[in-house]
Structure 1
Amino acid sequence: MKINQLKMGVVLSYITMFIHNIISILYTPIMLRLLGKSEYGLYQLVFSVVSYLGLLSFGFGSAYVRFYSRYKVKNDEDGIARLNGMFITIFLIIALISIVSGSILVFNIETIFKQGLTGSEIDTARILMILMVFNLAVTFPSSVFDSYVTAHECYFFQRVIGLLQTVLNPFLTLPLLLMGYKSISLVTITTVLTLGKFIMNIYYCRKKINMKFRFKNIQFSLLKEIWIFSFFIFLNMIVDQINWSVDKFILGMFGGTVAVAVYAVGGQINSIYMSLSTSVSSVFIPRINTIAADSNDNRQLTDIFTRVGRIQFIVLALILFGFILFGKYFISIWAGNGYEHAYYVALLLIIPVTVPLIQNLGIEIQRAKNMHKFRSVVYFIIAIGNVLLSIPLTKVYGEVGAALGTAITMILGNIIIMNWYYQARVKLDMKYFWGNIFKLFPAVLASFGTGLIALKLITLNSVIDFVIVGCIYVSVYLICMYLFGLNSYEKGLVNGMISKVLRRRR
């Protein structure tokens, strides 16, 4: 059953990711035109501010699966129930703190943005912030039930709920946008869907997988251990928040909502790009924790790390090199006029983030081994450097400068330092990992060269030209990857999927 759930989780992750990205590609240009550049920039700016309240979780959510696995190995049902009681209590308190903290932000929003926003924009921002704070407060207790579902490897339910959210959001929001409700409608629908997910999670956990709570005899020694473990995850959350949100905050202070909107378009492409990787690796979290708790076999962990990393690179390389080739024209027809710099913002974000994306399973390996402290401290220092570097670059180069500051610090921390740490301390065989990744490059470079030739022969003057050149590039990539890139295991996966499709058609 677990194997089926794992396979179903991966399949549904890709389906959800595919549908989400297709919807984003189709829906975003409509939203941009209905909202306008300033309103969209305002929405992104407020979102970037409120998202900092997400740090109030202090990393506790990421710790749940690890401590759940400890009790599960011992078949300690009472221990799991007490763990559940402890976590739901903690997150209800955090939800209350987030509401109080959000209220302080709401009352001081004019002071924060008086230099970059107009009076009417501040009024709209205040309403957006109230709704976003409430939405965030709901997600805190909901995350406990999400973690319990993940720990039980019930991926089918989890991915279906995610798929419903992905599909319903734009279909419910679009009529409101057409009626003129602007950015407030976006947040209202998101909040309604968040509440719906919370209710369904409670029902599923209580009725289907028998989630129990014990609120007596809470072990404060365990709470201390969870806090020590979670603290370094919390530092890493601060880093992620700085890397992906501080640029918009800085732009909001020094550049205004238009600069935020341009950066946000590039950031949207980066978000889509990142989802191609994280949606798959997340289903391996329980397995990684089980291996670490049981045998701590570094050879086995390296093998899973490399296998998942290769699959992630195969998917990401197709998008990365395709965007390098055709990204400028894509943004011109997707976002419209005035967003030309979004191409350079996107490139500066997605090129350096590719390496940590194909290695994101390593984060779970570190956590399972309780070796994530180094990464968190290093990333925190690097993130501070990102802020200090991005402010002067933003003043000179605007949104491109903000992205450049993030790119430089990401190369230093996420790529150079972390690969050393994986090899020297976590004891993953990084020579083996990179040797397997580099075996994919001949296929990647061959298809990239074909794309360059196609651009020389066909000038992109219409969507039809774009589709033709894109199809040529994708076709050559898939053929070259199958012939020169995939190993026997990966070819077996592809052949198996093709055989299943052919059998069903018969």
Structure 2
Amino acid sequence: MKVNQLKAGAALSYASMVIGYIVSIIYTPMMLRLLGQSEYGLYNLVASIVAYLGVLNFGFGSTYMRYYTRYKVLNDREKIAALNGMFLIIFSIIGLIAVIAGAILAFNTELIFGVELTDNELSRAKILMIILVLNLAISFPSIVFNSHIIANEEFVFQKFIQMIKTVINPFIILPILLMGYGSVGMVVVTTIFNLIIEITNMTFCIKKLNMKFSFRSLEIKLMKEMTIFSSYIFLYMVVDQINWNVDKFILGRHKGTSEVAIYSIGAQLNTYLISISTVISSVFIPRVNSIVAKNSKDRELTTLFIKIGRIQYIFVLLVIIGFIVFGRSFINLWAGENYLVSYYVATVLMIPMLTSLIQNIGIEIRKAQNKHKTAAFFMTLVACINILISIPLAKYYGAIGSAIGTSIAVIINQIFINVYYHKVIGLDILLFWKEIIQLSKGAFIPICTAIVMMMNKNHFADLTFLLLAIPFSVLYLLSMYKFGLNNFEKKLFFNDNLKKLSITNLRKS
């Protein structure tokens, strides 16, 4: 049943992702035109500030997963109930802290956003911030239930709910925008809808998964241990927020909301790329924690790391090459000429993300092993460097400059983290890159084709050029199948191979 959940969960993840892209392609242009570039930029600017409050969860979601898996292996139901109760209290308190912190930020919008915003924009920013903070506060207690669903590998339910949310959300928001309620109406409706989703998850956990809570035996020693473990995950979260949200804040202060809107479109497309990778690795989080909890050998983790990485590489590389070739035409038709610079923003962000996205299961491995202290401190240092270099780059080059600063930080992090995985975590990184190089043989013909197409790009009208994306994707997949994929990957979607994760099979294939 677990294997079926993994495969069905992965399939539903991709189905949800594809539906999400289709909905976004239809919905985003309408939203951009109904809101206007300035208000869309304002919404993203405020959302980026509120996102920093998201780090208040201190990484306790990953901590819950680690300790739940440990107690589940031991079949200690009392400990699990106490864990559930402890985390529900923790996240409820964090939600209250978020409301207080958000209120302080809302009444200091002039100080936060600087002089580039008009009085009307500052007034609207205050309202948006209050509503978005309430939305965030609601989400904190629900982390317990979401983590419980993932820990029990109930991926079908989880992904199905995400799919429903993806499809229904735009149909609720669009009438609000058409009635002229703007970004404020949009975030109000989103908050109400998110509340309904969280109540659904809670009901599923209690009724279907028989989730129990105990508030009588809260262990101070365990709390201390979990806090130490979470503190380094907290640093990762801070780094993540800095790398992906600080650019909007810097641009908002120095360039205004229009430049934030341009950057946001590019960053949104980069987020789509990230989602392609994470839908695969996310379903293996419980598996990683289970392997570590059973004290399995590093060879088993290396095998999982390589097999997931190779599959991610196939899809991530296709999107990056495809976007470089077709992205400018797509943005011109999708968002309009005012957002053409977003193509260069997205390209600059995507290219260095390739190595990061094919190794993101490594994040869960080092969390499960509790070996993330050094990496957390190093990444925090690089995030600070990102801020220092992004400010002058943003002043002189706008959205593209900010993207360059973030990409430099990503490259530095990846060089370090590969060494860290090899030396500290015990993963065979040399074997990993050997496998990726072997897989890259399948990309040679598509890359050569892409170069030729780019050289002749101006001979195509935008829509005509975009129609070539489908045959190009077919060429890529055929080339990968013929020259890149191993036997395991060729049979993956036809046989029950998710269970056969051994280093011997990998080498044979």
TM-score greater than 0.5 by the shorter chain: yes
Match of 2:486 in 1: 487
Unaligned runs of 5+ in 1: 498-506
Deviation at 1:87, TM superposition (A): 0.2
Deviation at 1:442, TM superposition (A): 2.1
Contact 2:329 2:463 in 1 (8 A): no
State how 1:104-123 maps to structure 2 within 5 Å.
Answer: 104-123=104-123
Instruction: Give the stretch that moved more between structures: 187-196 or 227-236.
Output: 187-196
User: Matched residue of 2:337: which SS?
Assistant: coil
Match of 1:395 in 2: 395
* Equivalent-residue separation in structure 2 for 1:431 and 1:199 (angstroms): 46
Instruction: Give the stretch that moved more between structures: 72-81 or 369-378.
Output: 369-378
Letter in 2 for 1:48: S
* Equivalent-residue separation in structure 1 for 2:224 and 2:63 (angstroms): 12
Letter in 2 for 1:347: T
Match of 1:421 in 2: 420
Letter in 1 for 2:42: L
* Equivalent-residue separation in structure 1 for 2:366 and 2:494 (angstroms): 33
Match of 1:450 in 2: 449
Contact 1:459 1:465 in 2 (8 A): no
Match of 2:58 in 1: 58
Alpha-carbon displacement from aligned partner over 1:80-136 (angstroms, at most 9, x marks no partner): 000001000000000000000000011111222241210111111111111100000
Alpha-carbon displacement from aligned partner over 1:255-300 (angstroms, at most 9, x marks no partner): 1001100000100111111000111111101111111110331111
* Equivalent-residue separation in structure 2 for 1:435 and 1:26 (angstroms): 41
Deviation at 1:450, TM superposition (A): 1.6
State how 1:78-89 maps to structure 2 within 5 Å.
Answer: 78-89=78-89
Match of 2:432 in 1: 433
* Equivalent-residue separation in structure 1 for 2:152 and 2:348 (angstroms): 38
Deviation at 1:399, TM superposition (A): 0.9
Match of 2:302 in 1: 302
* Equivalent-residue separation in structure 2 for 1:478 and 1:334 (angstroms): 26
User: When the two structures are superposed, what TM-score results if normalisation uses the length of structure 1?
Assistant: 0.96
Contact 1:37 1:258 in 2 (8 A): yes
Letter in 1 for 2:204: Y
Letter in 1 for 2:482: L
* Equivalent-residue separation in structure 2 for 1:355 and 1:456 (angstroms): 27
Deviation at 1:455, TM superposition (A): 4.8
State how 1:27-426 maps to structure 2 within 5 Å.
Answer: 27-413=27-413, 415-426=414-425
Letter in 1 for 2:84: N
Contact 2:16 2:166 in 1 (8 A): yes
Instruction: Give the stretch that moved more between structures: 485-494 or 355-364.
Output: 485-494
Alpha-carbon displacement from aligned partner over 1:335-367 (angstroms, at most 9, x marks no partner): 101212211111111111111111000001101
* Equivalent-residue separation in structure 1 for 2:440 and 2:245 (angstroms): 32
Letter in 1 for 2:229: F
Contact 2:172 2:189 in 1 (8 A): yes
User: Identity of paired residues, percent?
Assistant: 50
Contact 1:41 1:257 in 2 (8 A): yes
* Equivalent-residue separation in structure 2 for 1:13 and 1:166 (angstroms): 11
Deviation at 1:445, TM superposition (A): 2.4
* Equivalent-residue separation in structure 1 for 2:492 and 2:303 (angstroms): 16
* Equivalent-residue separation in structure 2 for 1:425 and 1:130 (angstroms): 43
Instruction: Give the stretch that moved more between structures: 119-128 or 246-255.
Output: 119-128
User: Matched residue of 1:180: which SS?
Assistant: coil
Deviation at 1:472, TM superposition (A): 2.6
Contact 2:321 2:450 in 1 (8 A): no
Match of 1:474 in 2: 473
* Equivalent-residue separation in structure 1 for 2:445 and 2:288 (angstroms): 35
| Distance change >3 Å, CA 496–CA 293, structure 1 → 2 | closer
* Equivalent-residue separation in structure 1 for 2:457 and 2:129 (angstroms): 47
Match of 2:504 in 1: none
| Distance change >3 Å, CA 193–CA 38, structure 1 → 2 | same
* Equivalent-residue separation in structure 2 for 1:322 and 1:460 (angstroms): 18
Alpha-carbon displacement from aligned partner over 1:379-410 (angstroms, at most 9, x marks no partner): 11100110011011111111111111111111
* Equivalent-residue separation in structure 2 for 1:215 and 1:73 (angstroms): 22
Letter in 2 for 1:74: L
Match of 1:502 in 2: none
Deviation at 1:137, TM superposition (A): 0.1
| Distance change >3 Å, CA 399–CA 463, structure 1 → 2 | closer
Deviation at 1:185, TM superposition (A): 2.5
Letter in 2 for 1:183: S
Instruction: Give the stretch that moved more between structures: 384-393 or 447-456.
Output: 447-456
Letter in 1 for 2:136: L
* Equivalent-residue separation in structure 2 for 1:354 and 1:185 (angstroms): 37
Deviation at 1:463, TM superposition (A): 4.5
* Equivalent-residue separation in structure 2 for 1:357 and 1:492 (angstroms): 23
Contact 1:235 1:380 in 2 (8 A): yes
* Equivalent-residue separation in structure 1 for 2:374 and 2:54 (angstroms): 22
Deviation at 1:424, TM superposition (A): 0.8
Deviation at 1:225, TM superposition (A): 0.5
Unaligned runs of 5+ in 2: 497-509
* Equivalent-residue separation in structure 1 for 2:358 and 2:46 (angstroms): 30
Letter in 2 for 1:416: I
Letter in 1 for 2:452: I
Letter in 2 for 1:306: I
User: Matched residue of 2:401: which SS?
Assistant: helix
Contact 2:394 2:401 in 1 (8 A): yes
Contact 1:393 1:402 in 2 (8 A): yes
Contact 1:423 1:430 in 2 (8 A): yes
Instruction: Give the stretch that moved more between structures: 114-123 or 378-387.
Output: 114-123
Contact 2:325 2:453 in 1 (8 A): no
Aligned-residue RMSD, C-alpha: 1.4
* Equivalent-residue separation in structure 1 for 2:487 and 2:230 (angstroms): 40
Contact 1:322 1:448 in 2 (8 A): no
* Equivalent-residue separation in structure 1 for 2:486 and 2:173 (angstroms): 44
* Equivalent-residue separation in structure 1 for 2:57 and 2:144 (angstroms): 11
| Number of residue equivalences | 496
Match of 1:14 in 2: 14
Alpha-carbon displacement from aligned partner over 1:129-176 (angstroms, at most 9, x marks no partner): 111000000000001100011111111111111111111111111111
Letter in 2 for 1:296: S
